[in-house]
């Protein structure tokens, strides 16, 4: 069984939630659905595997400071597929 990455909420108000995720190699977010549109800002370089409910695995190379955005509704699990610790900040934009 994969252990769970550490999530630390850094800020939350009525408009936004900012969470830092820290993963050791092999750790996972666990399966989840995004309620809000979000932006991910990698803090470190790293390799992730994103696993969808149907078992599809998509590997991605993250680069520190190279952000990306995704819409709400995506269901997946994110795993640190690399050999070093991985960290990113997730910024969720809540609907008004």
Domains of the chain: 6-93 (2.60.120.10)
Place of tokens 């990455």: 5
**Please, which pLDDT band fits residue 63 given cuts at 50, 70 and 90?**
very high
> CB of 30 within 8 A of CB of 4?
yes
Residue 69 has pLDDT above 90, yes or no: yes
User: Which residue in 86, 68, 90 sits closest to 28, CA to CA?
Assistant: 86
Its pTM stands at: 0.92
Coarse DSSP helix, strand, coil percentages of the chain, rounded to the nearest 5 percent:
0, 55, 45
Rg for the chain (alpha carbons), in Å? Answer: 13
């Amino acid at each position: 069984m994969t252990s769970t990455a550490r999530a630390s909420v850094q800020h939350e108000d009525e408009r936004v939630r900012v969470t830092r995720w820290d993963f050791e190699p092999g750790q996972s977010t666990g399966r989840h659905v995004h309620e809000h549109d979000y932006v991910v800002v990698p803090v470190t370089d790293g390799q992730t595997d994103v696993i969808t409910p149907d078992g599809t695995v998509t590997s991605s190379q993250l680069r520190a400071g190279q952000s990306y955005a995704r819409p709400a509704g995506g269901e997946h699990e994110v795993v640190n597929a690399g050999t070093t610790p991985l960290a990113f900040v997730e910024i969720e934009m809540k609907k008004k």
